[in-house]
Amino acid sequence: MTVTIKNEEQREKMRVAGRLASEVLDMIGDYVKPGVTTGELDSICHEYITNVQAAIPAPLNYRGFPKSICTSINHVVCHGIPGERKLKSGDALNIDVTVIKDGFHGDTSRMFFVGKPNIQASRLSEIAFESMWLGIRELAPGKHLGDVGAAVQRHVEKNRFSVVREYCGHGIGQVFHEEPQVLHYGQPGTGMELREGMTLTVEPMVNAGKPNVKLLPDGWTVVTKDHSLSAQWEHTVLVTADGFEVLTLGADDR
């Protein structure tokens, strides 16, 4: 699969899809509280995406995934399947949303805390958030994907956490996952050179313990091998002539 360079019309459609994805996360925050199930959060998001936004939840039936969002709690790294699990006070929850509008994808995830987070979970989320932004700020024509990964890795490891290596960011557009792969580790000046019009996700998965992960028998849910906490933030970003434009900023980010 080749890297797609978006023209101005396509960039505008990516902006719309990105804004809708961020609005889903803005909306669902009020429902994240003790006693609610991840399945209920999924249903609320599904109804909002399909009925309010007149859009499509990209994860639903994607390669067999059974739900409209991903809900990853505590030691779940990514791709958690919503279900009967009730949230309890102290849980750290990543909600990952991808919306399709007019054929284009907007992909974003955010950390939420149920009640008051513990100190480690709060710190881990903070470092994951900061590392995402350090990676995003490396995006510009002429820079390299290795610059993005190196910036993320440097910040995470400086704070004595670890970067998951088996899962990464990706190109995005009319296809959910396209080239290039956006690794969250690497060496500056290496990897693909960035060009104006590329759209991709930066979405570091950061573990409190070791970077090793395992896939559960459901074929989707990825957890830390040592059962340590994990955190992730994600934005969809457009490479512009002079830098970058984040397409999935939430209401609190604008």
- pLDDT tens, 206-226? 999 999 999 999 999 999 999
Is the pLDDT score of 31 beyond 70?
yes
Residue at 2 is within a domain = no
- pLDDT tens, 50-64? 999 999 999 999 999
Domain count, the chain: 1
- What CATH number has the domain bearing residue 132? 3.90.230.10
Residue at 61 is within a domain = yes
Residue at 253 is within a domain = no
Q: Are 185 and 137 in contact (CB under 8 A)?
A: no
Is the pLDDT score of 191 beyond 80?
yes
- pLDDT tens, 61-87? 999 999 999 999 999 999 999 999 999
Residue at 254 is within a domain = no
Residue at 42 is within a domain = yes
Residue at 238 is within a domain = yes
CB environment 154-182: b (16+ within 10 A), e (fewer): ebbeeeebbbbeebbbbbbbeebbbebeb
Residue at 1 is within a domain = no
Q: Whole domain around residue 22: which residue ranges?
A: 8-246
What is the structure's pLDDT at 185? Answer: 98
Dist. CA 29–CA 13, nearest whole Å: 25
What is the structure's pLDDT at 6? Answer: 98
Residue at 241 is within a domain = yes
Q: What value does the CA radius of gyration of the chain take, rounded to a whole number of Å? A: 17
